[in-house]
Chains A and B, each alone.
Chain A
């Protein structure tokens, strides 16, 4: 069954993520599922590479969970990758979603972490609302899909 995100829920999620960017001074923020699919992203520095970043982060987070299990932890709820100019903070949002904040060396890492944890709590509530509305979304008779004609991909 698909995960359906309505315009209403998308706008609510996006609005909170935009606020997070304003407050934390991070460059970009992504909300993705643990399979690597992007749900919402905000900020302009990941344009074009957001899919790849999301896939790699989901993989890295999953691998880290195995490490947590080896150490007897249920999971590591957050990971911080520190670079010279760019860094990434990743935090779980419930059991199915991840939040990823990208920020530069101009930004205070502690500030990003603090606001990230706050927005994660908001995201968790919103994601639960989205999940609770899935049956309603799926049953909406006004929505239908029409398959395009011909091959989906052509070769050069």
Chain B
């Protein structure tokens, strides 16, 4: 849920990176933290296990004066833990969310996990009386640098097969490819949705 503060001329949005375990959600935030200029970002915080798997969430605050005229716009960027066993944590992180990036692993061997996570996202949103169709969201087909990846058309067939096509981006987050483009796309969708509803 966006928060508009007229006294401080500030608007806050929450964006969540969702997807199966090891698909590159944390890497996305790390690359955003590397690439976005210092004045626009806070510190990146990861609540991770000793094996560097996300335990609770990663968090990166961003802010800009270029998104909505006359306002400082803050984006609170979160990832969810991808491992199946942390579903209650994913539900907590989704709370009051304004936009979602679903990060899919492009490798053939990960298709089942992609679909499971996609369905899990829908069911977790339903538990908080939200629908994916009513929330700004985009797809990111990550790990395009690896050799055994499915073509984007196949990922569309699996994940993006509705009547309305979801914007999708090809990326190699570990190399920084497609990361900032994904960020800008979801940020614009979130802002457009906010303005349309006000």
CA distance A153 to B38 in the complex (A): 11
How far is the CB of B17 from the nearest CB of chain A, in Å? 14
The answer to whether A153 and B40 touch across the interface, beta carbons within 8 angstroms, is: yes
The answer to whether A51 and B61 touch across the interface, beta carbons within 8 angstroms, is: yes
Interface size bracket, B side? 35 or more
Binds A, one of B63-71, B113-121, B138-146, B164-172: B63-71
Of the candidates B1, B37, B192, the one whose C-beta lies within 8 Å of that of A147 is B192
- What residues of B have a CB within 8 angstroms of the CB of A138 in the complex? 198
CA distance A11 to B67 in the complex (A): 26
The answer to whether A37 and B66 touch across the interface, beta carbons within 8 angstroms, is: no
Instruction: Confirm or deny: A79 has a beta carbon within 8 angstroms of a beta carbon on chain B.
Output: no
Binds A, one of B19-27, B104-112, B155-163, B179-187: B179-187
The answer to whether B4 and A4 touch across the interface, beta carbons within 8 angstroms, is: yes
The answer to whether A2 and B43 touch across the interface, beta carbons within 8 angstroms, is: no
The answer to whether B56 and A52 touch across the interface, beta carbons within 8 angstroms, is: no
Interface hits, A137-151 → B, CB 8 Å: 138, 143, 145-148, 150-151
Of the candidates B68, B78, B192, B197, the one whose C-beta lies within 8 Å of that of A146 is B68
The answer to whether A156 and B66 touch across the interface, beta carbons within 8 angstroms, is: no
The answer to whether A10 and B35 touch across the interface, beta carbons within 8 angstroms, is: no
**With A2-B3, A5-B3, A66-B88 in contact, do A148 and B76 touch (Cβ < 8 Å)?**
no
Of the candidates B1, B57, B64, B92, the one whose C-beta lies within 8 Å of that of A3 is B1
The answer to whether B191 and A147 touch across the interface, beta carbons within 8 angstroms, is: yes
How far is the CB of A20 from the nearest CB of chain B, in Å? 18
Instruction: Confirm or deny: B45 has a beta carbon within 8 angstroms of a beta carbon on chain A.
Output: yes
Of the candidates A35, A51, A143, A145, the one whose C-beta lies within 8 Å of that of B1 is A35
**With A151-B184, A156-B37 in contact, do A48 and B3 touch (Cβ < 8 Å)?**
no
- What residues of B have a CB within 8 angstroms of the CB of A14 in the complex? 7
| Most chain B C-beta atoms within 10 Å of own C-beta, residue among A33, A35, A39, A151 | A35
The answer to whether A150 and B96 touch across the interface, beta carbons within 8 angstroms, is: no
CA distance A151 to B47 in the complex (A): 30
- What residues of B have a CB within 8 angstroms of the CB of A4 in the complex? 4, 6
Binds B, one of A55-63, A83-91, A103-111, A115-123: A55-63
How far is the CB of A143 from the nearest CB of chain B, in Å? 8
How far is the CB of A47 from the nearest CB of chain B, in Å? 12
The answer to whether A62 and B92 touch across the interface, beta carbons within 8 angstroms, is: yes
The answer to whether A2 and B1 touch across the interface, beta carbons within 8 angstroms, is: yes
The answer to whether B14 and A51 touch across the interface, beta carbons within 8 angstroms, is: no
Instruction: Confirm or deny: A71 has a beta carbon within 8 angstroms of a beta carbon on chain B.
Output: no
With CB as the reference atom, state the residue of chain B lying closest to A1: B197
With CB as the reference atom, state the residue of chain A lying closest to B70: A146
CA distance A133 to B74 in the complex (A): 24
With CB as the reference atom, state the residue of chain A lying closest to B66: A148
Interface hits, A1-57 → B, CB 8 Å: 1-7, 10-11, 14, 33-39, 48-49, 51-52, 55-56
- What residues of B have a CB within 8 angstroms of the CB of A7 in the complex? 6-7
Q: A10-B5, A59-B57 are in contact. List 8 more A-B contacts (CB 8 A).
A: A1-B197, A6-B7, A11-B7, A14-B7, A36-B14, A146-B68, A152-B66, A154-B180
Measured CB to CB, the residues of A under 8 A from B are 1-7, 10-11, 14, 33-39, 48-49, 51-52, 55-56, 59, 62-63, 66, 138, 143, 145-148, 150-156
